[in-house]
Structure 1
Amino acid sequence: MSNPTPHRTPLRRISQGSLFALSRSGAYPDAPHGLGFIEPAMSEFVDEAEALQANVEGMKRLSDSLATFNESFASWLYVMQMNALTTDWPQAPTAASFELAKRRAEQNAIAAMEAMKAARVAREMEEASAAAAAADRTAMTDADTTYAANNTTTNASALSAKSTVVKKKPGKPKLNAKEKKERSIQIEKIITCLPLEFRGNDPNLRRNMESVIEGLIDAPGQAVKLNDLIKPPDLPQARVNKCLIALVNRKIVRKDNSTGTVMYHWLGVA
């Protein structure tokens, strides 16, 4: 049996645009003969090869820059991680810190409840003392009436003397917890409008200003004389004058001497 004939790849036909066809074409009579046609093609090829080499070198430089940056950035990340693992942070809160904060919150809540209870007990005691004082005054009035009825003819002079007894000046009205809080807020609002020396530079001067303001607010008709506010030695006349001048300048108090007597009228903060 004879061996089969091996397959052979047929020769490819020369394309119409090949260099050989270009050199042999009649359309280009000035085409060089022999190997001369290779020179312009090789020159163009060399230019393109140089451009390719320049681009490849640029890509290589870019790759080297990226490699350098990656290495540096990776080193920085590694250093930061090692620093976080090896450095102590004493200011960071711990479990003991949260436990201490919880304990302080509980203590503050207990203290607030005790303060509310104490205020309620004090208010109840004030109400009880006021009721007892009212009962005592009622009993004393009844006793005086009975005594006067039994001794009308024999003690006329004593009754006339009793009728001329001077009434006591009404004292400062007592305030409950809510009224005290509102009063303190009102006084604080007024003091913030005054010069800096009354707002904390001199604690004694601030305390004197608070006393003067309370005296003006609690006065009948909210109009007082200078002597009504003087309470030596804690509140001398010089301090009262200084406080009143500051209040008049801020138009919180109005000074009036139209009646011949200097009166200070409370206006308040608008």
Structure 2
Amino acid sequence: MAHTTQTPHRTPLRRISQGSLFRLSRSGAYPDAPHGLGFIQPAMTEFLDEAEALQTNMEGMKHLSDSLATFNESFASWLYVMNMNALTTDWMQTPLPESFELAKKRAGEQFRTRHLDVTNDFCAEESAIAAAEAMKHAREAEEQARRARHLADQSAFTEMTEPDTTYMGNTTTATGASAASGKSGSIPKKKVGAKPKMTAKEKKERSMEIDRIVSCLPLEFRGSDPSLRRNMETVIEGLLAAPGNTVKLHDLIKPPDLNQARVNKCLIALVNRKVVKKDNSTGTVLYSWVGIP
């Protein structure tokens, strides 16, 4: 009887899953894979690095949270202090509703004052223009009257000398000419009153006074514009030489150099500097000399 060898019974092994570590270690696709669990070392090293990075980020988040908490506490304390300060402090200079009403009233008064000044200046300019036109017409009328008198004198001279020339010849003509010359010489000439002359000392004092006043005016009157400085000096001299140191605007106009616009500009600068006082209470704009104290 032959001896038979019986194979011992063994529990069959479970099928290895595709993702098991053993299959990964024994797979033919990775012949260089380490034996056993040695392949886990690189994966664990990478996992450790990522864990350390996560810990660092969490510590940064904690630090940020602590900083925000500190800021919030400080800011809340500051807001509380400001609120308590506002509740316990009296602001004496805080504008009241009456302050806004007063500001509106002052603004309205300033606007009305500027409007009134502009209106007065415009009226003064119109008055000056009308006065200049009237003076021009008066000069033209006077010139025409003078020409008429001259023509009348020539006609009378001709009528008086013609008979003498007819009957007496050249001698009579000479006598008529001498008579005519005597007649023309007998016409009295109108003497114009001369202004009192100033002494050298008075001229020097007047010049020093004008320089002192001009030095207090804006830059354009102090030499930036030489013609404007000369106009200002002429206006000041006209004010000082006027009776009572009071003049009208058209009294200072001396064309062509000192026209109305230049005179008005100089007077405005003097009024703003309070060297000259402007008065229109009588219906006529008058400028009175005050001077610099």
State whether TM-score is above 0.5: no
Which fold has the larger relative contact order, with Cα–Cα distance below 8 Å and residues 6 or more apart in sequence? 2
TM-score band (shorter)?
0.3 to 0.5
Which structure's CA Rg is the greater one?
Answer: 2
TM-score by length of 2: 0.36
Q: TM-score, normalised on structure 1?
A: 0.38
